[in-house]
Amino acid sequence: MNKIHQQEIEQLQTLFKGEGIDNTEDRIKILAVFLGTEEHVTDTDLIKLLKEKGHDFEPGFIKDTLQLFTRYGFAQETTFKGEQPRYEHRHLGRHHDHLICTRCQKIIEFENDQLEALQLQIASRQGFHMLQHKMEIYGLCSDCINTRETLVSLASAREGEWVKIKEFAGGSDMQNRLATIGLRSGDEVEVMTNSGHGPLVLVVNCSRLALGRGIAQKIMVIPNGRQRDERPQVRLSQLKKGQKATIVRVTGSGAFRRRLMEMGFLNGTEIAVEKYAPLRDPMELIVKGYHVSLRVCEAAQVFVRAGSK
């Protein structure tokens, strides 16, 4: 047992005896096993670990002990999105944050002094005294990105993930049906919500679209493993001659947006600035191989990310 763990056990023994907590010696045995794992464990996980170490404590006693560990600062209880509570060591003077894989539920701890300092600076600038904080970043770990099948059903995509529609398992009837609601092969869509049951909500051409799980299972997609495009958004009117970009969203009135969508201004579509008129208005664009003329004031309603994907 390392020195830090031994100190933790000695401190718990002193605290528990001083507080009159019963069965201290048995609780110390539970603490020793808890400190011996570097995983973020549920109470069920800890019960299993204790049995493997030859301890036969009642599940209720183990759960009660975990709550005591939390109350007295030896463990930290965290509930990650969609999961049951997990417990980890809470060593003195240390703070870390978490990366959580939404596919395999792997939890990766990380520490970053610059990030900690930045958070303090932000709080200070707002006149805010920070007492505690936590950061949880959800996504896909490198193992899951590398091992995912190239082609999967939309129903298996994760919240916040962008996917590209490849094909429809339901044949031409399914393809035609989905085309009427704006889903076509080659489209890139963002999965806004996917709880694992019930409908999925997608972001398609700046609008929300709800799909039943049965239909989502018949839509085959290519996951790209990205959570968002990190390139900054700019207005289309800010681009220079010859510059290319990817359409992110179209704002303005409903009629204006519909007109642009009919012209091919759809989320994820590549667009290029061919030239400007002598007085810089209108601007000539190339969208899906077609030449389109657009007033600069209209182009200002279109947000893009500069550069091709």
pLDDT confidence of 95, banded at 50, 70, 90?
A: low
pLDDT at 227: 43
CATH of the domain at 50: 1.10.10.10
Mean pLDDT of 173-179: 80
Q: What percent of the chain shows pLDDT beyond 90?
A: 17
Average pLDDT over the chain, rounded to an integer? 82
Mean pLDDT of 113-120: 81
Are 208 and 281 in the same domain? no
| Residue pLDDT, tens place only, 53-79 | 999 999 999 999 999 999 988 888 888
CATH of the domain at 131: 3.30.1490.190
Are 135 and 153 in the same domain? no
| Residue pLDDT, tens place only, 251-293 | 766 677 778 888 888 888 899 999 998 877 889 999 988 899 9
Output 126 or 142, whichever has higher pLDDT: 126
Are 200 and 249 in the same domain? no
Are 137 and 153 in the same domain? no
Distances (CA, A) of 260 to 23, 234, 309: 72, 17, 21
Q: End of a domain among 126, 143, 160?
A: 143
| Neighbouring C-beta atoms of residue 118, cutoff 10 Å | 11
| Separation of alpha carbons 238 and 232, rounded Å | 12
pLDDT of 168 > 70? The answer is yes
| Residue pLDDT, tens place only, 182-222 | 788 888 888 888 887 788 998 876 678 899 988 888 888 88
Most confidently modeled range among 110-114, 146-150, 152-156, 247-251: 152-156
- What total number of domains does the chain contain? 4
* Residue 228: inside a domain: no
Question: Are the beta carbons of 22 and 65 closer than 8 angstroms?
Answer: no
Q: End of a domain among 223, 253, 285?
A: 223
Output 297 or 29, whichever has higher pLDDT: 29
pLDDT of 29 > 90? The answer is yes
| Separation of alpha carbons 44 and 67, rounded Å | 14
Q: End of a domain among 202, 223, 244?
A: 223
pTM of the model as a whole: 0.40
pLDDT at 146: 65
pLDDT confidence of 22, banded at 50, 70, 90?
A: very high
Give the tokens for residue 302.
Answer: 């279109």
Q: What percent of the chain shows pLDDT beyond 70?
A: 89
Distances (CA, A) of 253 to 32, 125, 162, 217, 262: 64, 38, 26, 34, 14
* Residue 103: inside a domain: yes
CATH of the domain at 195: 2.30.30.90
List helix spans (H) across 53-126. Answer: 59-71, 113-125
Are 57 and 122 in the same domain? no
pLDDT at 23: 92
Q: Which residues form the domain of 174? A: 149-223
| Separation of alpha carbons 232 and 247, rounded Å | 12
Are 122 and 155 in the same domain? no
pLDDT of 228 > 50? The answer is no
* Residue 261: inside a domain: yes
Are 111 and 135 in the same domain? yes
